Amino acid sequence: MKFRAHVLVSLKEGVLDTQGKAVRVSLKNMGYGSVEEVRIGKSIMISLEATSRPKAEKQVEAMCDDLLVNPLIETRSVTLEAI
Amino acid sequence: MKFRAHVLVSLKEGVLDTQGKAVRVSLKNMGYGSVEEVRIGKSIMISLEATSRPKAEKQVEAMCDDLLVNPLIETRSVTLEAI
């Protein structure tokens, strides 16, 4: 079976998001004064082959632990769909 | 009213995603042979103030057009929630 996993990686609350800050300042300078905060994260789409949904979930979680997410400063949310 | 907009920016199909390719190769080298494709995009969370939901939507769409999204190579999906 084929699956598509969507991993959303965000910086933890309290971790300084320099990229988000730069975007917020740019937006303000462009006239968007109503913007209060901007936080930027990564969206990772993974297409993979697995024999079952639990196995696919387990694999994606392992990939997050091994490479995709730095748990010291980031949080993740994973959604999985069969395709 | 306060709103939080989530803008998901992805590379269009057919646009070479070098970062995604590098991640795919790394995952394969780490033993995740079942991975077929990896695509990496940006997730942008914007907290903003607006007098109504339509106005907030309009503002966020304008920000995407003006700064956040390059329509030549990227697509976006916007979701908005009142907070």
Residue B63 and residue A27: Cβ atoms within 8 Å?
yes
Rounded Cα gap, residues B48 and A35, in angstroms: 4
Q: Are B41 and B10 in contact (CB under 8 A)?
A: yes
Write the ipTM. 0.90
Q: How far is CA B28 from CA A44, B31, B38, B80, in A?
A: 16, 5, 11, 36
Residues from chain A contacting residue B1 (CB–CB below 8 Å): none
For B7-36, what is the mean pLDDT?
Answer: 97
For residue B45, the chain A residue with the least C-alpha distance is A39
pLDDT of residue A24: 98
Share of chain B above pLDDT 90, in %: 100
pLDDT of residue B68: 98
Q: Of the candidates A9, A40, A46, which has its C-beta nearest B35's C-beta?
A: A46
CATH number of B2-82: 3.30.1280.10
Rounded Cα gap, residues A27 and A20, in angstroms: 10
Residue segments in chain A with a per-residue pLDDT below the cut of 70 = none
Q: Of the candidates A36, A42, A62, which has its C-beta nearest B40's C-beta?
A: A42
Residue A18 tokens, joined: 């320099």
For B22-34, what is the mean pLDDT?
Answer: 97
Rounded Cα gap, residues B78 and B68, in angstroms: 12
pLDDT of residue B37: 97
